[in-house]
Structures are given as structure tokens and as C-alpha cells.
Copies of this chain bind each other. A is one copy, B any other.
Amino acid sequence: MTGEEAARHREKMQKRKAVQDAEVAGKTIEKGLLMVHTGAGKGKSTAAFGLALRMLGRGRSVGVVQFIKGAWSTGERTPLEAMPGLEWHSMGEGFTWETQDRERDVAAARRAWGKALELMQRPGLGLLVLDELCIALRYEYLPVEEVVAALVARPPALHVVVTGRNAPPALTEAADLVTEMKLIKHHFAAGVKAQEGIEF
């Protein structure tokens, strides 16, 4: 790179920095966010637990309610629970094709939602993770209007992240952040099995 090129780069980046700085300065609102991680790709719950880690790392408390408990226990639960400020509730009965009993599924979802409502009122809670709540909504274990109304009425500083495929429109409309984890390529399709430390 010649001196002239380096100078051009510097000038371009100074302009870029001015734009960035103005953008950052224009954002002034602080509020608890309603976040949704949806889509068929990997990373919805993983990113939610990454957020839990970040919040705990800032010394804030975090609540987790798992609406659907999968067949396996999760590797992240043990280290997260070792950190002060975490309260974790696995309330689901497994996927619906595991329980094969819809009334049991509905009752479990209702208990999980009751726990979520209780945690929302916990003083000082920084983040509430409602893992796979979208699944419970999709199968109509819980009425979406009731759930969205309670989420909207939460304490204003509380951050909430909801995960699961097929987030209902009423939820994404109410949300501040919606990310679709989009499956572009998945190793399961190539015959690779679920592995410890990656999927569980």
C-alpha cells in the first residue's frame, strides 16, 4: 500500500466513523426488550443462553423457563447454575411426540407459564429466557393473546427472550427484536449425529 492509498483509506474511514458516531448518538432510549429467536436454523436457544451468560457476567439476575424439555439434558445448564443470580426451571414434559398425551402437554405448558409470570414480577430480574415458548404457542397449549398481553405488560426494564420455531405474528409484532435463525446448511442432512457439546 502506497502512502497515498493509506491516506485515502484513512480519509474514507474517518467519514465512516463520523457516520457511525452520529448513528450511535441518535439512539438514546433505554428499555427492557422483548426479543424473539425463531426460524428453522440452529442457535435460537444457544444465543438465548449466551445472552443469559452476558447478563450474569454483568452481575444481573436471570430466570430461565424451559417449556419443552428435550430428550437430553443440556451442557450449559450446569455452568450457568454455578453462577450466582440464575434461576432455572425445566417445566416441559418433552416433545409432544414423546409424551403422546395432549392434556399432559397442555397442563405442563400452563405450569411453565405460571412460573414465567411469577419470574416476571421478581424484583431486579434482568433477563427472562422463555425457551421454546413458541412451540407451546404453535401447538396451542397456551392462548397466544394471553401470552402476548402479559409479555407487553411486563415491568418496563425487564428484558425477555422467547425462542422456538414458528413464532406467531402477534408475538413478532409486539417484539422489539426478531431474529430468524435461517437454516442454510445443516450437518444432520449429511448423516452427522447430535454430538455432546454441540447439540446438547
A residues bordering B, Cβ < 8 Å?
Answer: 1, 6, 9-10, 13-14, 16-17, 20, 24, 26-31, 33, 35, 37, 39, 41-43, 45-51, 53-58, 60, 74-80, 83, 95-103, 126-127, 159, 172, 175-188, 190-198, 200
Contact = CB atoms under 8 A, between A and B. Distances in A.
Nearest to A78: B57
A152 B43 CA distance: 22
Contacts of A183: 179
A17 B97 contact: yes
B178 A184 contact: yes
Nearest to A102: B9
Contact of A50 (B46, B55, B159): B46
A122 to B, nearest CB: 16
B53 A188 contact: no
Contacts of A41: 179-180
A2 to B, nearest CB: 11
A154 to B, nearest CB: 15
A134 B171 CA distance: 32
Closest CB pairs A-B (n = 5):
A50-B50, A46-B50, A57-B75, A43-B47, A178-B184
Contact of A197 (B37, B55, B80): B55
Contacts of A50: 43, 45-50, 53, 76
Contact of A181 (B10, B20, B43): B43
12 contacts: A27-B191, A28-B191, A28-B193, A33-B195, A43-B181, A46-B47, A47-B50, A50-B53, A58-B197, A127-B197, A178-B184, A181-B182
